[in-house]
Structure 1
Amino acid sequence: MKAKLTNLRITIRFKWTCFLSLAIFLVFGIFTTLIYTSVGQALLHTEENNVKDTIAAVDSRFNIYPRNLTQAQVQRRLAPPVTRRSLNNEQSKKIISENPEVLYRDSLSKQLARGDLAIVIYDAQRQPLFKIGAIQAKFERPTQAHEIVLKKSTHRSSYLEATAPLYSSHTKKLIGFVKVNNGLRVYHHAFRQLNKKMLLVVIFAILLSIILGYVLTQPLVHRINQINQTMDEINEDPDSQARIPLQKSNDEISDLVGRFNKMLDRLQEYTNQQKEFVEDVSHELRTPVAVLEGHLKMLQRWGKDDPQVLDESITASVSEVDRMKKLIQEMLDLTRAEQIETNYTHETTEANETIHQAYNDFVMLHPDFKINLDDTMPPHTMVQIYRNHLMQVLVILMDNAVKYSSDRKEMNLSVSTEENMLTIAVQDFGVGIAQSDIKRIFDRFYRVDKARSRESGGNGLGLPIAKKIVEMYKGSITAESALGSGTIFRVNLPLVATKKHLLK
């Protein structure tokens, strides 16, 4: 049984519907309870005022007597003329009990004629002199300061009771007591009607809270279903371009959808890069492997007995192995460049020192080459890029300039800053690139005829690596060229704000 309960699946729609329904019902219940309590207190306060008014009316009627009240005085002040003239005490009491409305003609009459008020009048010795209505004549201690007490009868219904002393207005002596009971007939009738209506309201509130809870959770569940559907499509087809539809709402779900789609785009990009990597490596390694295989088979058949063939085969094989090593290193560099966004995007470098170091290194390595440096950078110019990556981009561009400038051995290197960007330009005066090829020189393994031949030692990965590095740092790289006139590569990288750098 416990295992079944553990495996029981409760949907988020059910959970949120229950939660919202409960929340709405609680709010409604609190509001209704406040109204219910307020109405009850108001009705009870009205009934208490009726009791106070009755006591005040009795007091005003009998406080004219200077001494202890007598039954005759009470009869004279309360009983109607018909009962005083022609009926005995028992008959008058019966008439008063059966027809209380014939007894009262003033404010006290109006109070007692309501039918749910009952009174007992006592003398100063606490002996009952007069009684009207359903009330016990036994005297109980008077309540303090006309205190009104809420009591329960034998029938479990509540009523109000108050006992107060009566004083003479002339002598200020105690002349008697009065006890008043209020059966709360109007109060109970009003609450019975209110309870019936409240029951209907509660049922309506429960139904309304469930409906509202379901309706309010519908958009959330719909968005979750869209996410699940998109994930199912991607699981069925890893190459799927399915994405979660974006909504106009600006909330946490929209943020989640945006991040999820961005994650899918990145995963798709990584998958495509992996496929391209495998395809490119297999394509590029096919030739050197075939060359090595051909030489080894030739040596195995008969070439090992010919010293000249043996020497040529070994030299060619070593050359192909070197080229394979360089190709693998470049592929690794390209893969690392694609991971810059994760590890290096917050790195900064002082451009002055790095660029001058690259310039000095090439001047030393290529003494037969004329390298011109035009530097207009301010001192301590900070650029948003990791130092080794900036050096790698410079080496790639300057190495290409040296490699493809066979006739005029000259290169111009210029650096400047403009509009929060560092601009680097590398110009050579080599064979140049045709306009039909200029857009493809940043593609992997693409080689321009003549200028990008295998004999120059290139694998067609240098410029793709440089482009990937620059773009990962939110920069740009472009090329301008003309056949026979050379090529200019321009690199733009974002600068680091001075204040930001100082804070670091």
Structure 2
Amino acid sequence: MKQKLADWRITIQFKWTCFLSLAIFIVFGLFATLVYTSVNQALLRSEENNVRDTIAAVDSRFNVYRAPLTKEQVQQRLAPRFNQKTLEQSGHGQFVTGDPEKFYHDSLSKQLARGDLAIVLYDVKGHPLFKAGQIDANFTDVTKITFKKEYDGRPSYLETTVPIHSSRTNKVIGYVKINDGLRSYHRAFQELNRRIILVIVFAVLLSLFLGYILTQPLVRRINQVNRTIDEINEDPDSQARIPKQRSNDEITDLVDRFNKMLDRMQEYTNQQKEFVEDVSHELRTPVAVIEGHLKLLQRWGKDDPQVLDESINASVSEVSRMKKLIQEMLDLTRAEQIEINYTKEVTEANETLEQAYNDFVMLHPDFKINFDDTVPPHTMVQIYRNHLMQILVILMDNAIKYSKDRKEMNLSASTADGMLMIAVQDFGVGLSQKDLQRIFNRFYRVDKARSRESGGNGLGLSIAKKIIEMYKGSITAESAVGSGTIFRVNLPLVKK
């Protein structure tokens, strides 16, 4: 059973629909509760005000008397048209009963016309003198307006007993007991409850609908991501990408990053294939050469000093080339670890540039090397010194190799916008736009035959680019066939 529950899949659409529906319903519930409470308080205040107004009307009717109230005074002030036949005897005295609408002919009738109010008038001893409506005529202690007989959290009626004071002597001349049956209050709440129930049902349905609608765009985008991933899993070389939307939100940012990640993965895959092909090709040639010479020596060449000497020299040359290739591959691998080991290293740019210039002037006296240095003295650049020297050697060595007709090279350095800007320009054969886009790829060589003759493996520019990027710099190339090439390097200076 537990395993079945664990394997039960709950979709994100279902979760978000329930979550949004619950959130909407809670907000509506809080709002409805607030409205319900406010209406309840407003209605109760209205009923209390009606009771107070009735008390004030009765008090204003009888406070003109000096002596305690009598049955005749009450009859005269409340029901002057009634005769003695309408009076009934009780165990405590005489009081009037009957339809209130027949004797409320003045302002007091405005308070009692609703039919919710009932009233009893007492003398100073608590004997009832007058009764109207459904009310207990027994005298009770003087109280404030009190809610009585609560049920379902709501009051059944309001009741109070207050004294009537003479406005002339300020003495108590009687009492009045008023009961409000709250019929209007209960009718209003019955209607409110019916409406609330209807609105709750509507709110539940609406919240479910809105929750479903609001989750649709999210689910749609997730399904697009899943479909794209499935296509790429089926075909790793697939160019499938997640369609872009016009919306500008977090999902769009996720889609953009995911597509960029796929592009980089595709690029790495292509480079890896090219890398494997080029490495196998580069190693196959020297291995085949060495194997051929060894077989030659094994058969009969070891007895011929000339053949033995040629085979040994050729094998040593191929072994040296393989050694250089392996070293460059190690350099490329180490360049990817710069961010971990060398990011805090700094170098004085002037001294390193001067040394690179002097070394190449000494090694290539037949070349004219122009050096334009406008870098301020003691300028510190954010790079390990050996790595800066390695970049300069790679670029200047390439300029020497591919400048066969015009043996001239320009080296310039300057600073601007917190960057050290280095330019290496040759006047060799130049590059086409197609080659220019690929010269930083591993093992890429424009002319493989000439590169092999000059000892190149097509890794130098890849190593330089990787080192520069690890130090948050940039390298670009500009070229035209027959007009030479210029490489521009930007490296960040040390912030003061």
TM superposition score category, shorter chain reference: 0.7 to 0.9
Q: State the distance in 2 between where 1:299 and 1:173 align.
A: 145
Could you tell me which amino acid in structure 2 is paired with residue 425 of structure 1? V
Structure 2 stretches of 5 or more lacking a match?
none
1:362 is aligned to 360
Do the aligned residues in 2 keep the contact of 1:433 with 1:448 (CA within 8 Å)?
A: no
- Does 1:318 find its partner at 2:312? no
Change beyond 3 A, Cα 1:388–1:243: farther
Choose which of 472, 490, 494 in structure 1 pairs with 2:490.
494
Deviation of the 1:330 alpha carbon:
2.4
1:448 maps onto 2:447 in alignment: yes
How many angstroms does 1:211 deviate by?
1.0
Provide closer, same or farther for how the CA distance between residues 259 and 350 of structure 1 changes in structure 2, counting only shifts above 3 A. Answer: farther
Superposed counterparts of 1:95-106, under 5 Å? 97-106=97-106
Q: Tell me how far 1:152 sits from its aligned partner.
A: 1.3
Counterpart code for 2:50: N
CA–CA separation in structure 1 for the residues paired with 2:114 and 2:406: 124
Tell which deviates more after alignment, 20-29 or 464-473.
Answer: 464-473
User: Which whole-Å CA distance do the structure 2 matches of 1:434 and 1:168 have between them?
Assistant: 121
Q: CA RMSD in A?
A: 3.5
Instruction: State the shift of 1:391 in Å.
Output: 1.9
Query: How far does the alpha carbon of each residue in 1:436-478 deviate from its partner, in whole angstroms, 9 at most, with x for none?
Result: 699468263425388x253332234334544565677333123
Other-structure match for 2:205: 207
Counterpart of 1:174 in structure 2 is 172
CA distance in 2, matches of 1:142, 1:121: 13
Q: 1:260 to 1:404 in 2, by over 3 A?
A: closer
Aligned to 2:393: 395
Contact 1:437–1:448, Cα closer than 8 Å, also in 2: no
Deviation of 1:79 (Å): 3.2
Query: Which amino acid in the other structure matches residue 89 of structure 1?
Result: E
Instruction: Find the aligned partners of 2:151 and 2:2 in 1 and give their Cα distance.
Output: 50
Match of 1:152 among 133, 144, 149: 149
Structure 2 CA distance for aligned equivalents of residues 83 and 244 of structure 1: 96
C-alpha contact (below 8 Å) 2:97/2:130 kept by paired residues: no
Deviation at 1:18, TM superposition (A): 1.3
Q: Which residue in 2 is equivalent to 1:433?
A: 429
SS of the residue corresponding to residue 412 of structure 2 reads strand
Deviations 1:59-99 (A, max 9, x none): 12222222222333323332342333x445259x9996552
Q: Determine the structure 2 residue equivalent to 1:237.
A: 235
Q: In 2, Cα distance between the equivalents of 1:407 and 1:51?
A: 116
Say if 1:151 and 1:158, in contact at 8 Å, map to a contact too.
Answer: yes
Asked if the contact 1:467/1:476 (under 8 Å) is kept, the reply is no
- Rounded to whole Å, the distance in 1 between the matches of 2:464 and 2:75 is 119
Q: What's the counterpart of residue 127 of structure 2?
A: 127
| TM-score, length basis structure 2 | 0.86
How big is each residue's C-alpha offset from its partner over 1:298-330, in whole Å with a ceiling of 9 and x where there is no partner? 333343444543443333222211111212222
With over 3 angstroms needed to count, the CA separation of the structure-2 counterparts of 1:331 and 1:110, relative to structure 1, is same
- What amino acid does structure 1 have at the position aligned with 2:214? L
Amino acid at match of 1:424: A
> Cα offset for 1:343?
8.3
2:478 alignment partner in structure 1 = 478
Residues 126, 139 of structure 1: 8 Å contact kept: yes
**Which residue does 2:163 correspond to in 1?**
165
CA contact (8 A) 1:421 1:492 kept: no
CA contact (8 A) 1:96 1:102 kept: no
Aligned position for 2:215: 217
Instruction: Mark the CA change 1:97 to 1:256 in structure 2 (over 3 Å): closer, same or farther.
Output: farther
The percentage of aligned residue pairs carrying the same residue is: 67
Question: 2-side partners of 1:468 and 1:153: how far apart?
Answer: 83
Give the count of matched residue pairs.
Answer: 487
Q: SS of the residue aligned with 2:142?
A: coil
Query: In the superposition, relative to structure 1, how do residues 218 and 8 fare at CA in structure 2: closer, same or farther (>3 Å)?
Result: same
Contact 2:99 2:132 in 1 (8 A): no
Mean CA deviation greater in 51-60 or 407-416 = 407-416
Secondary structure (helix, strand or coil) at the match of 2:16 reads helix
SS in 2 for 1:494: strand
8 Å CA contact retained: 2:70, 2:129:
yes
Note if contact 1:48-1:148 (Cα within 8 Å) is conserved in structure 2: yes
Output the amino acid matched with 1:237: D
Distance of aligned partners of 1:407 and 1:233 in 2 relative to their CA distance in 1, 3 Å threshold = closer
TM-score, structure 1 normalization: 0.85
- Asked if the contact 1:117/1:181 (under 8 Å) is kept, the reply is yes
Query: Aligned pair in 2 of structure 1 residues 492, 107: CA closer, same or farther (>3 Å)?
Result: same
- Work out whether residues 356 and 392 of structure 2, in 8 Å CA contact, stay in contact via their aligned partners in 1: yes
Residue of structure 2 equivalent to 1:458 = 456
1:117 aligns with 2:117: yes
Partner of 2:25: 25
Contact 2:347 2:380 in 1 (8 A): yes
Q: Distance in 1 between matches of 2:238 and 2:454?
A: 41
In the alignment, the residues of structure 2 paired with residue 193 and residue 392 of structure 1 have an alpha-carbon distance, to the nearest angstrom, of 88
Cα separation, partners in 2 of 1:2 and 1:455, compared to 1, 3 Å:
closer
SS in structure 2 of the partner of residue 138 of structure 1:
coil
Q: Is the 8 A contact 2:75 2:82 kept in 1?
A: no
Secondary structure of the corresponding residue to residue 171 of structure 1: coil
Judged with a 3 Å threshold, the aligned counterparts in structure 2 of structure 1 residues 383 and 244 are, in CA distance, closer, same or farther, namely: farther
The answer to whether the Cα contact below 8 Å between 2:413 and 2:420 also exists between their aligned partners in 1 is no
1:142: how far off? 0.9
Measured against aligned partners, the alpha-carbon deviations of 1:120-151 in whole angstroms (never above 9, x if no partner) come to 112212222222222112222212xxx31111
Q: Distance in 1 between matches of 2:2 and 2:488?
A: 65
Partner of 1:377: 375
Task: Check conservation: 2:421, 2:490, Cα contact below 8 A.
Answer: yes
The structural deviation recorded for 1:178 is 0.9
Q: Tell me by how many angstroms 1:182 deviates.
A: 0.2
> 1:151 is aligned with what amino acid?
K
- 1:211-245 Cα offsets, whole Å, 9 max, x none, are 11111121122222222222222222222222222
Distance 1:56 1:336 in 2: 99
- Structure 1 residue runs of 5 or longer lacking an equivalent are none
The alignment status of 1:184 with 2:178, answered yes or no, reads: no
Q: Which residue of 2 aligns with 1:62?
A: 62
- SS of the equivalent of 2:246 reads coil
Matched, 1:136 2:119: no
Shift of 1:352: 1.9
Contact 1:117 1:180 in 2 (8 A): yes
